[in-house]
Amino acid sequence: MTRTGRQYLDSLRDDREIWIDGERVRDVTQDPRFSAVAESIAELYDLQHDPKLRDKLTYLTAEGEPAGLSYIEPKSESDLVRRREMVKIWMDWTAGMMGRSPDFMNVHMTGIGSAYEYFARGGEQFGKNARNYYEYLRRNDLVLTHTLINPQTDRSKPVHQQSTAAAIVKETDAGIVVHGARMIATLAPFSNDIAVFPSTFLQVSEDAKPYAFAFSIPIATKGLRFICRPAITPPNARVQDYPFSARLDEMDCVAIFDNVLVPWERVFINQQPKLGNGMFAETGTINQIMHQFAVKNLAKAEFLLGVALSMADAVGISGFQHVQNHIHEMINTVELVRSCIRASEVDCVPGPNGTVLPNDQPLQTVRTLFPQLYPRLVETIQILGASGLVMVPSHEELTSERAADVERYYQGATIPADKRIQLFRIAWDISCSSFAGRQTLYERYFSGDPWRLGMLRYQNYPRSQELKDRVSDFARRTAEVDRQQQQKTESLREKNHVTA
C-alpha cells in the first residue's frame, strides 16, 4: 500500500517519548516546533496519490500491490533510472533540504532485504528477519530513522571502555535487551521505526561483541526515548520569512535505550562484530544508499545554482566576469554530480539475488567530494548576495505603513520589491540562517567522517595496482628507449672516433 499524508500523520500519534526544551512532546503533529515538518513529509506521501505523479512515484510489487518506488529491488539499469527519477521528484519538492525524507531509509532497507542471506550467516532466522522486515516496511510504507554512531564521549578509547554506548546487556527468550545511548537519529520524531545499525568498525573481540548488533524497532517502544536539540523553526514563523526553517527542520536527536527489549524477529545481527563491520559493503547496501543521496545532492546543488542565477538577474550583476566565474563553478558541481549518478547507473554491477548495484566508484566520488563542494556553493550565494541578503524586511512590512517605502527601495533591476524579498529570504535561509548552518554541517558529516572516508577510498581504490603498473610499464619502456638511445650514441661516437 502507499500511504496518504493523512495516514502518515495519524501514524505519529502514539506513545513515543520525544523530549525537547525540558518537556515531553504530547503530539508531534500538533506541537508548533514539529507540526509543520510533519506536514511537509505528509505532502511527499500525498504526491504518491497525485494522478500526474503516481506512475513515477510508485510501482506494482510481484504480489500486485502498489508500493513506493524507493522500495524497488533494481534488476536492471532502467530500474535504477526509474528509482532515480522518483527520488528526484521528492528531492526537488524540498529543494534537497530534507536529506532524510523517507526514500533515504527505504532504499537502505531494500538493500538489506535483497541481501538477506548475508544476515543468515549469523543464524538462519536473522536472514529471515531481514527479508520479512523489508517486506513489512514496503507493505506499510513506513518512515524510518536510523542511528549508527556511539555518543561522542571519548573518541580516543574503544567503545567497550566507555559507559555511554548502547550495548546488549541481556538475552531473554523474547529478545535482546539494550541499554545505553546512540547519536544521532535525524527525523526520529517524524518516524515510525528506528533502525539501530553498526557503523564504526569494531574490534573482533569478546569485549566488542555486546556492541555489534543490527535491529529495528518502533519509535514508540517502551524504554526508548529521544532528546532533541532546540528546534530551528522559529515560533509562529511566517513561511514567507523562513521558507526552509519554518517547514523543513528534520530534527536531530539522541536515542536513549533504557533496558529496551528488542524482540528476536526484529534482530538482524546479534553480537557478531565481523558481520557488523561488513554489513554495508558486503551486502551492496552502501551502493544503493549512495545512489539515493547523490540524487539529493544533485537536487540541492541545482537549487542553489537556480538561486544564484536568479539573484544575479535580480540585481543586475550577471554581466560581471567574476560573477559569471563564480556561477560557472556551481555549474561544474551540478554537472559533475549528474554525470557521476549517470555513470553509476550505466556501469551497474550484479548484486545479491538478481539485483543490480549502481557502480560504487562514481558514487564514492560524490560521497567524498560533496562535503567540500557544498560549503563552496553556500559561500557563493553569500558572495553574490552580499548585503542584499540582509536588506530584507519581513513580509509584514509589505502591507504595513511602510509599504510604499518597501515597494520603492527594495525593488531589483528586473523584479518588484515583493519578488526580490521573497528570493533573498530563500537565499538567506540556505546560506546564512541556523537552518543553513545545520545543512552545511549535515553535508560535511551525514555520510561519515570525510577524513576517514577519504582514507578508506585510498586504501580500497580498485584501480591502484593497474595505475601503478601503468607507470612501471611506462618507466620500463622509457628505460628501454634510453638504452637504445645510449647504444646509438655510443656507436656513433665509436664511428666518429674511427673516422677521425
Q: Report, in Å, the least distance between residue 411 CB and ligand FAD.
A: 37
Q: Report, in Å, the least distance between residue 294 CB and ligand FAD.
A: 17
Q: Which of 69, 87, 105, 185 binds ligand FAD (CB under 6 A)?
A: 185
- Part in contact with ligand FAD (CB under 6 A); list of ranges 38-46, 141-149, 391-399, 459-467: 141-149
Q: State which residue, 326 or 438, has the beta carbon closest to ligand FAD.
A: 438
Contact 443, 370 (CB under 8 A): yes
Question: What whole-number distance in Å separates Cα of residue 249 and Cα of residue 258?
Answer: 27
CB atoms within 10 A of CB 436: 21
Q: State which residue, 441 or 467, has the beta carbon closest to ligand FAD.
A: 441
Contact 88, 298 (CB under 8 A): yes
Q: State which residue, 96 or 385, has the beta carbon closest to ligand FAD.
A: 96
Contact 284, 115 (CB under 8 A): yes
AA identity, residue 190: F
Question: Given the C-alpha cell 511537509, which residue does it identify?
Answer: 40
Secondary structure class of 40 (helix, strand, coil): helix
Q: 251: which 3 cell numbers?
A: 530534527
Determine if 157 is a binding residue for ligand FAD (CB under 6 A).
no
Strands 17-20 and 224-228, by their bridges, are parallel
Name the H helices within 387-463.
Answer: 403-409, 417-431, 434-445, 450-460
Q: Report, in Å, the least distance between residue 417 CB and ligand FAD.
A: 35
Total of residues contacting ligand FAD (CB under 6 A): 20
Q: State which residue, 278 or 450, has the beta carbon closest to ligand FAD.
A: 450
Determine if 261 is a binding residue for ligand FAD (CB under 6 A).
no
Residues 6+ apart with CB under 8 A from 131: 113, 116
Question: What whole-number distance in Å separates Cα of residue 421 and Cα of residue 384?
Answer: 15
Q: Which of 54, 452, 488, 493 binds ligand FAD (CB under 6 A)?
A: 452
Question: What whole-number distance in Å separates Cα of residue 441 and Cα of residue 446?
Answer: 8
Determine if 215 is a binding residue for ligand FAD (CB under 6 A).
no
Determine if 279 is a binding residue for ligand FAD (CB under 6 A).
no
Determine if 442 is a binding residue for ligand FAD (CB under 6 A).
yes
AA identity, residue 65: E
Q: State which residue, 141 or 252, has the beta carbon closest to ligand FAD.
A: 252
Q: Write out the binding residues for ligand FAD, residues 64-103 only, by CB under 6 A.
A: none
Determine if 28 is a binding residue for ligand FAD (CB under 6 A).
no
Q: Report, in Å, the least distance between residue 151 CB and ligand FAD.
A: 8
- Part in contact with ligand FAD (CB under 6 A); list of ranges 85-93, 314-322, 445-453, 469-477: 445-453
Q: Report, in Å, the least distance between residue 452 CB and ligand FAD.
A: 6
> Following CA atoms 468, 473, 479, 485 in sequence, which dihedral angle do they give, to the nearest 10 degrees?
-140
Determine if 391 is a binding residue for ligand FAD (CB under 6 A).
no
Q: State which residue, 149 or 261, has the beta carbon closest to ligand FAD.
A: 149
Per-residue DSSP letter, 259? E
Q: Which of 2, 110, 147, 310 binds ligand FAD (CB under 6 A)?
A: 147
Q: Which of 446, 454, 456, 457 binds ligand FAD (CB under 6 A)?
A: 446
Q: Which of 184, 275, 341, 384 binds ligand FAD (CB under 6 A)?
A: 184
Q: State which residue, 152 or 321, has the beta carbon closest to ligand FAD.
A: 152
Determine if 201 is a binding residue for ligand FAD (CB under 6 A).
no
Determine if 445 is a binding residue for ligand FAD (CB under 6 A).
yes
Contact 297, 97 (CB under 8 A): no
Contact 185, 194 (CB under 8 A): yes
Determine if 152 is a binding residue for ligand FAD (CB under 6 A).
yes
Question: What whole-number distance in Å separates Cα of residue 260 and Cα of residue 29?
Answer: 25
Q: State which residue, 181 or 327, has the beta carbon closest to ligand FAD.
A: 181
Determine if 420 is a binding residue for ligand FAD (CB under 6 A).
no
Q: State which residue, 393 or 448, has the beta carbon closest to ligand FAD.
A: 448
Per-residue DSSP letter, 389? G
- Closest by CA position to 445, among listed 91, 149, 160, 216: 149
Q: 160: which 3 cell numbers?
A: 567497550
AA identity, residue 492: L
Q: Which whole-number Å values give the CA distances from 362 to 276, 343, 354, 365, in the listed order? A: 25, 7, 22, 5
Q: Which of 451, 458, 461, 474 binds ligand FAD (CB under 6 A)?
A: 451
Q: Which of 29, 40, 106, 186 binds ligand FAD (CB under 6 A)?
A: 186
Q: State which residue, 184 or 256, has the beta carbon closest to ligand FAD.
A: 184
Question: Given the C-alpha cell 529495528, which residue does it identify?
Answer: 216
Determine if 497 is a binding residue for ligand FAD (CB under 6 A).
no
Determine if 146 is a binding residue for ligand FAD (CB under 6 A).
yes
Exposed/middle/buried for residue 483 (C-beta within 10 Å: 0-12, 13-18, 19+): exposed
Q: 486: which 3 cell numbers?
A: 645510449
Which residues of this chain interact with ligand FAD, rule CB under 6 A? 145-149, 152, 155, 184-186, 252, 438, 441-442, 445-446, 448-449, 451-452
